[in-house]
Structure formats: structure tokens, C-alpha cells
Amino acid sequence: MIGSNLITGTILLSLTGPGIGGNFFLLVKHVHIFVMGPKKKPIDLILIHLAFANAMTLCIRALSEVISAFHFSNVLGNFGCKATIYLRRVARGLSICTTCLLTVVQAGTISPRITFQRKLKTWTAWQVLSCLLFFWIFNFFISSNLLHYITTVNSMNRSEIGPYIVSCYLLPSKQVVRWLFLSLMALRDIIFQSLMGWSSGYMALHLYNHHKRVLYLQSFRFTKKASPEIRATQSTLILMTCFLFFYWADFIFSFYIGSTLKNDSVMLSITLFLELSYASVSPFILMGRDSTWLTAGTFTEKLRKVFSALTPPITKGI
């Protein structure tokens, strides 16, 4: 038991600490660009939202694990149980939807021909904001059953059903209700992951053609540095690949645990790692392609500008 708690704690600290920090810096960076920049780029708004959703995922999961480890069963209460599990489910849905939107918009950014993708180039920040607002409303709705069926151990007989997380329990629901919300979640995942795959396939083809052109120019002793659009496309493809890998690996392990009804500590540690990995790794993938942001002096200077812009100037007294 002590060994499993140690493994869980190690995974939690190694992922949530750097993950929350990385998402915070990514959020600060693009808030600064969005607020201070002359042009409000939709891509900055999407990255702000993705960093916020991933940070919310990490914070909520870390909170639930800390409460479980220190046996603070009475800290959450009925409202806390509902809010924690509900927001955790919403944050996961927002991460899926926002990653999909990022891949689709990035595909539209590099598209020279296709009509639908060219329209994405002309999207304003307000149009992206309305799309993100729709994601919130949609994910609030398809997770709303948890607000009714999640309760605390004090509200029911413990022997009736096993815990959902910590001291929170999921009450049995009608078959119609259960399958309705499961179908909505499955439909969401299928639609958004299909859009991700379509956009990523288009971007991969574009990068392949670009690579052939670069090799052709190099054969004539010309060099061509990758444009910011190409670097952003590469980052988006890596990000999407990581998302799909961690999503499906988490789904397979979770399905296995749910079907066998075995709460093996090793399997639970693996699912915890897979659940938190994307939210923790994604900001470093996005920042890693931008070498100027990783420069210490530039990074410090940008942070200083952000916080100085948010802080009102101090006037000296006469």
C-alpha cells in the first residue's frame, strides 16, 4: 500500500508540477501577445483556452489525489464532490474540443486552395471566442448528469456501491439516462477526433510537399529556413499525435479496469499517468518550437512587460 502511494505521489508531482507551470507560462505568453499585439490573432485565443483547460485538468486531479492521500474525506462535502468530478469531466471535454479546433485552424492557415479552409484564415478572434463558448455550453450539458448522480458517503449507505473518487459515489441511474450521456460523449469524441485526423492528414501532406521543395532547392545549393507557419504546423502535428496516443491508451486501460473490476494499484498508476500526460506535456511541445520564447533574457523581459502592463504606475508624491 505504501509502495503504491509512493508511485502515485511520484507520478502526480512529476506531472502536475511542471504541467501547471508550463501551462501558466504558455497562457501568460499568449495573453501578452493577444492583449499587446496590434492584431488579435485567433490562434492566440485558442492556445490561451487550451492552456487553461489543461491547467484545470491538472489542478482538479491533483486536488482529488491529495485529498485521497491525506484522507480528508470531509473536506469536499456533497457540493465539493459534484463540483470536482463535474469540472474534471468538463475540462477533459474542453481539451478534446480545443485541440481539434487548433488543428483545424492551423490546417486552414497553411491552406492555399480549399474553400472551407481558406474561410478559416479570415476568422476573427470574436468568432473563435463564440466557438469556445459553444464548447463550454456543450460540455456542461453532456456532463450534467453527474450533478444529480454524484453524492458523498454521508448521503448514502457505503455498502450499496463502490466509490467514484475519494469519498464521492456515483448513484445508479436509469439505462436510458446512462446511455444517452454516454452516447453524447462518444459522439463528441468521434466527431472531434475525426476532424483532428482529417486536418492532420492535410497538414502532413503539406509538410511532405514542402520538404520535397526544400530538398529541390538544396540540390541547387539554396537554403530555405522553415517559416513560422511550418514550425507551427509541425508543433500542431506533434501535439495531435501525443493527444491521440494518450487518449486511446487511457481509454484501453480504463476499459480493461472497468471490465475486470480489478483496482490493481499498478494499473491505476498507469491510468493516472496517461490521464495527466497530455495536459502536462502539451505546453512544452508548443513552446519548444519557439526558440525565442525559451531564451532566458527574452522570456524574463516578456514576463516583465506582462506584469508591468497589468500593474498601474506608481506616482511619486510632491
* DSSP tag of 152: E
Per domain, the residue ranges of the chain are 1-150+168-292
Q: Lowest-pLDDT range, 98-107, 114-123, 215-224, 269-278?
A: 215-224
Cβ-Cβ contacts under 8 Å for 136 (sequence gap 6 or more): 90, 94
Distances (CA, A) of 277 to 143, 164, 290: 22, 21, 21
Q: Lowest-pLDDT range, 14-23, 75-84, 125-134, 236-245?
A: 75-84
* DSSP tag of 54: H
pLDDT above 60 (res 279): yes
- Please report, rounded to a whole number, the percentage of residues in the chain having pLDDT higher than 90: 19
Whole-structure pTM value: 0.79
Mean pLDDT of 150-166: 57
Q: Is 260 helix (H, G, I), strand (E, B) or coil?
A: helix
pLDDT above 60 (res 226): no
Retrieve residue 95's grid coordinates.
481539451
Q: The domain at 1-150+168-292 falls in which architecture?
A: Up-down Bundle (1.20)
Cβ-Cβ contacts under 8 Å for 106 (sequence gap 6 or more): 43, 199, 203, 232, 233, 236
Retrieve residue 183's grid coordinates.
452516447
User: Across-strand partners of 168?
Assistant: 152, 165
